[in-house]
Amino acid sequence: MWTIFKAIDRWRVWNNLLDYPVYLPPFRSSKIFISREQADANYKYFESVKAARVDLLIRYLSNRSVHLILKQSELLHLDRWVHRYGGHLLPDGGDVIYALSEYEPVWKAEYHGLNIIHDVAILVGDYIVSNNSDASWGLWYGDGDCQAEEMPGFYQPCIFGLKNYGYNRPLPILYIVYEHFESGRLRLKHGVTLPRSYDAVGNFAREIGVLATKDLHGSDFISQ
């Protein structure tokens, strides 16, 4: 019975998903080989399509009975959707981390779900920035860290100014969001009893809520 439910949920996620536009920045390669100017061009592309990507996501989710506006109560609906369906958007294997950081392989076929994950990151990033006056979008250049090229978020859009979270570098919001989808994939693969405290209904919304509230701190998320 569990297998049947999983198959139905996967169909709901992937039905018409391949029609969802692919996120295609102009420079897609290892960050080691991308210049600062090319990273700037990728960020300008991000800025130019950001609002449209959120609209695409809202339409995709509304067709699946998730109606979103940027407020805390609606994040709970998104949280429940990610918890139930998010794992179906990731391939079981493959070079997902490379695809996220280098945009290669292109986000098509088995990687097409990364477009949804990326746009969820934009949506919650906008929510954080709109509610936390310390926060802003920006491109992280590494700040002179010789190991920055190996870190999540290098040469990618990040959230800056999150002093309340105790995070010394800009926050790589795409990877924060990805972790919740990956938790769902592991649960689908190993069963509903997978002991992973990070993977619980409500944790995604709580984490984003803390990030969006300048008077709360990272420990407030951990303690909830």
- As a whole number, mean pLDDT of residues 58-85 equals 80
- As a whole number, mean pLDDT of residues 179-204 equals 77
Picking from 11-20, 51-60, 139-148, which range would have the lowest pLDDT averaged per residue? Answer: 139-148
Task: Give the Cα separation of 151 and 209 in Å (integer).
Answer: 24
Task: Give the Cα separation of 147 and 167 in Å (integer).
Answer: 17
pLDDT score, position 169: 79
Report pTM: 0.90
User: Among 61, 38, 198, which residue's Cα sits nearest to residue 119?
Assistant: 61
pLDDT score, position 136: 95
Question: What percent of the chain stands above pLDDT 90?
Answer: 49
Residue 123 has pLDDT above 90, yes or no: yes
Q: Count the Cβ atoms, other than its own, within 10 Å of residue 161.
A: 19
pLDDT score, position 149: 75
What are the structure tokens assigned to 132, written together? Answer: 């936390």
What are the structure tokens assigned to 183, written together? Answer: 């938790």
User: Among 27, 43, 31, 30, which residue's Cα sits nearest to residue 142?
Assistant: 31
Residue 195 has pLDDT above 60, yes or no: no
- As a whole number, mean pLDDT of residues 2-10 equals 81
- Mean of per-residue pLDDT scores for the chain: 85
Per-residue pLDDT tens digits for 80-108: 999 999 999 999 877 898 899 999 999 99
- As a whole number, mean pLDDT of residues 181-198 equals 73
pLDDT score, position 194: 47
Task: Give the Cα separation of 167 and 169 in Å (integer).
Answer: 6
Which single residue is written with the structure tokens 């303690």?
223
pLDDT score, position 100: 93
Which single residue is written with the structure tokens 């130019």?
48
